[in-house]
Amino acid sequence: MSTLFEKIIAREIPAKIEHEDEHCIVIHDIDPQAPTHFLVIPKKVIPRVAEATDADQATLGHLLLTAAAVAKKLNLEGGFRTVINNGEDGGETVPHMHVHVLGGRSLSWPPG
């Protein structure tokens, strides 16, 4: 069974795509929690960051570098936050690891 994100990658479900390359896709969140809120999703399914392996190291690094590049493209020079939810208590709702990038306003601490 495909995850929601696999269906978006396969163009079975529409999404506002900001960037795509051979390793990941970047889409705008459908329920944004900040003026700018996008997701960096690996094309390889990694269910959650706690299940990543040494073989995923390059992919994980690529996700963060892509997050920074897209944040710059979207004019988040003042700062942004990256979030990776892991497990039910961590707020995970889709079993396909992804990086949330939020910005466009001052973000408080602690989150949640």
Q: For residues 56 and 76, what is the distance between their CA atoms, to the nearest angstrom?
A: 27
Q: How far apart are CA 42 and CA 19, in angstroms?
A: 12
**What's the CA gap between 30 and 37, in Å, rounded?**
9
Phi, psi of 65 (to 5 degrees): -65, -40
Catalytic residue of the set 37, 96, 98, 100:
98
23 is catalytic: no
**Structure tokens that stand for 105 in this block:** 């306003």
Q: Which residues contact 79 (CB under 8 A, 6 or more apart)?
A: 103, 107
Q: Which residues are catalytic?
A: 98
